[in-house]
């Protein structure tokens, strides 16, 4: 009873319903992300409205933002308004702005969470529950419904990538769980296992590229806390685990990797009009070539967000690559999409959107006042790094669900870090 009271009571014995709402939402959001449509969007919208209301109510008060907050705001504002400028230049496409506005709304979401507070219990257990839920959906899809690739009600790529990043972010809370009780270490470990399993069952090869990068980030974080012998043992166990995942036929990993190698060989050995070249890998390579051509022709502002498909069709009609590669409205790469649609301005604003938060999280890991602060920064860094790697083969920010997820957790981790750094300081 005491724990529950401290959880929901803020000042003078009054129930803080905002804290209750946020705490429940931090569990419901990841738990339903890949299994129930529209819930994540509703939660994000309510957080945004609450943040905007707070800004309006305090419009006459002078804002005192820290340097880190100013950099965070600048990154998302620059990206959105560069997108707006490019879209106005190339021809208005409301669909694109409707997706990217999530990034701008990360600011009011952050302000609402910063003002009301983030309970670490709900944050960490929410990620664990979300990872377990994703594995449950994946198992049901593949082993019960016999769908070739787990996807829930999403695109299989988005499903696999979001499952993986939730599992990996759960591992960032490893120390928080073990601090509560040694046996609770099972939660982040099981969450990671579930996230990896869901990713494997989704057959999302592009997402697997993020695994070694995330491993490097995690080892960089824990290196000061473990001896060389312990680090060597961990690396050995990791390679055994990855080797087992590759060799087990049930995972399908070896088959997917073999298909990738075969597709690349077919692409290099055949002409652009060969039907043997019509694979997902070949299509991506053709789309990236088309995107590069668009960037060369429009190096400053690109062809305008939302106009990739029509420009790619023109190139295909000229016989520059296989027409099967123009079936998509994006080039299956965050970076080539930015170059083609937004030119140098779009690409630079995209890189700043990733690199500024990454730098803020790295700085917090090195200078954080508490272990909780550093863990939150690690989770934020895993989020950004994962999206940077996912972006090599999939424009995650171009998809409504995945851009919503990125904006939501970027705001959550930034607000939670602010809260931990300012404990005991009146707001």
* Most confident stretch, 94-108, 234-248, 318-332: 94-108
In this predicted structure, what is the pLDDT of residue 14? 42
16 vs 95: CA distance, rounded Å: 37
Residue 258 pLDDT more than 80? no
Q: State the Cα angle at 128 between 125 and 130, rounded to 5°.
A: 110
Number of neighbours of residue 260 by Cβ within 10 angstroms: 15
390 vs 49: CA distance, rounded Å: 30
Number of neighbours of residue 141 by Cβ within 10 angstroms: 21
11 vs 147: CA distance, rounded Å: 52
Q: Please report which confidence band the pLDDT of residue 3 belongs to, taking 50, 70 and 90 as the band edges.
A: very low
In this predicted structure, what is the pLDDT of residue 207? 85
C-alpha distances out from residue 384 to 31, 103, 299, 380, Å: 21, 13, 26, 6
Q: Please report which confidence band the pLDDT of residue 11 belongs to, taking 50, 70 and 90 as the band edges.
A: very low
CA 153 from chain center: how many Å? 18
Q: Return the closest-CA partner of residue 30 out of 150, 169, 140.
A: 169
C-alpha distances out from residue 74 to 54, 69, 231, 341, 352, Å: 20, 8, 38, 21, 9
Looking at per-residue confidence, does 58 or 71 come out higher? Answer: 71
Residue 4 pLDDT more than 90? no
In this predicted structure, what is the pLDDT of residue 349? 98
Q: Return the closest-CA partner of residue 307 out of 289, 325, 285, 326.
A: 326
In this predicted structure, what is the pLDDT of residue 262? 61
What's the mean per-residue pLDDT of the chain? 86
167 vs 250: CA distance, rounded Å: 20
18 vs 10: CA distance, rounded Å: 10
Across the range 141-164, mean pLDDT stands at: 93
Q: Please report which confidence band the pLDDT of residue 279 belongs to, taking 50, 70 and 90 as the band edges.
A: low
288 and 336 Cβ atoms separated by less than 8 Å:
yes
Across the range 259-275, mean pLDDT stands at: 57
Looking at per-residue confidence, does 132 or 290 come out higher? Answer: 132
Across the range 138-163, mean pLDDT stands at: 93
Residue extents of the structural domains in the chain: 15-53+66-254+332-421
Lowest mean pLDDT across 89-93, 122-126, 151-155, 406-410: 89-93
- pLDDT tens by residue, 359-407: 999 999 999 889 999 999 999 999 999 999 999 999 999 999 999 999 9
Across the range 250-266, mean pLDDT stands at: 59
Q: Please report which confidence band the pLDDT of residue 312 belongs to, taking 50, 70 and 90 as the band edges.
A: confident
Tally helices (H) and strands (E) across the chain. 18, 0
- pLDDT tens by residue, 17-32: 899 999 999 999 999 9
DSSP states of 248-272: -GGG-HHHHHHHHHHHHHHHHHS-T
3-state secondary structure of 7: helix
Across the range 408-412, mean pLDDT stands at: 98
In this predicted structure, what is the pLDDT of residue 223? 81
CA 45 from chain center: how many Å? 18
Task: Give strand pairing partners of 15.
Answer: 9
93 and 31 Cβ atoms separated by less than 8 Å:
no
64 vs 161: CA distance, rounded Å: 37
């Amino acid at each position: 009873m005491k724990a529950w009271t401290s959880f929901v009571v803020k000042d003078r014995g009054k129930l803080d319903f905002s804290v209750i709402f946020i705490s429940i939402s931090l569990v419901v959001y990841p738990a339903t992300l890949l299994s129930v449509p529209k819930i994540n969007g509703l939660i994000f919208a309510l957080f945004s409205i609450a943040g905007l209301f707070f800004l309006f109510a305090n419009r006459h008060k002078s804002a005192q933002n820290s340097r880190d907050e100013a950099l965070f705001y600048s990154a998302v504002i620059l990206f959105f308004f560069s997108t707006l400028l490019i879209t106005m230049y190339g021809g208005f496409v409301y669909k694109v702005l409707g997706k990217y506005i999530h990034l701008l709304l990360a600011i009011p979401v952050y302000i609402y969470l910063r003002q009301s507070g983030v309970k670490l219990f709900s944050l960490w257990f929410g990620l664990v529950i979300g990872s377990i839920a994703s594995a449950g959906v994946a198992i049901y899809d593949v082993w019960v419904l016999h769908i070739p690739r787990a996807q829930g009600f999403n695109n299989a790529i988005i499903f696999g990538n979001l499952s993986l990043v939730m599992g990996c972010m759960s591992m960032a809370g490893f120390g928080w769980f073990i601090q509560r009780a040694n046996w609770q270490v099972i939660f982040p470990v099981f969450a990671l296992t579930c996230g990896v399993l869901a990713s494997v069952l989704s057959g999302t090869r592009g997402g697997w590229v993020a695994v070694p990068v995330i491993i490097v980030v995690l080892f960089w974080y824990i290196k000061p806390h473990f001896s060389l012998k312990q680090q060597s043992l961990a690396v050995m166990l990791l390679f055994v685990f990855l080797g087992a995942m590759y060799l087990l036929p049930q995972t399908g990993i070896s088959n997917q990797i073999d298909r990738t190698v075969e597709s690349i060989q077919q692409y290099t050995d055949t002409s652009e009009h060969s039907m043997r070249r019509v694979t997902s890998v070949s299509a991506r390579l053709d789309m990236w070539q088309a995107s590069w051509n668009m960037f060369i022709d429009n190096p400053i502002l690109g062809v305008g967000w939302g106009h990739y498909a029509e420009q790619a069709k023109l190139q295909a009609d000229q016989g520059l690559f296989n027409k099967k590669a123009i079936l998509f409205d994006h080039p299956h790469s965050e970076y080539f999409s930015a170059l083609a649609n937004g030119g140098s301005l779009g690409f630079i604003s995209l890189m700043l959107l990733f690199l500024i938060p990454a730098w803020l999280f790295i700085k917090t890991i090195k200078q954080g006042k508490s272990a909780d602060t550093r863990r939150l920064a690690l989770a934020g860094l895993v989020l950004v790094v994962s999206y940077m790697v996912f972006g090599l083969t999939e424009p995650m920010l171009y998809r409504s669900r995945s851009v919503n997820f990125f904006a939501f957790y970027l705001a959550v981790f930034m607000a939670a870090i602010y809260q931990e750094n300012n404990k005991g300081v009146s707001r």
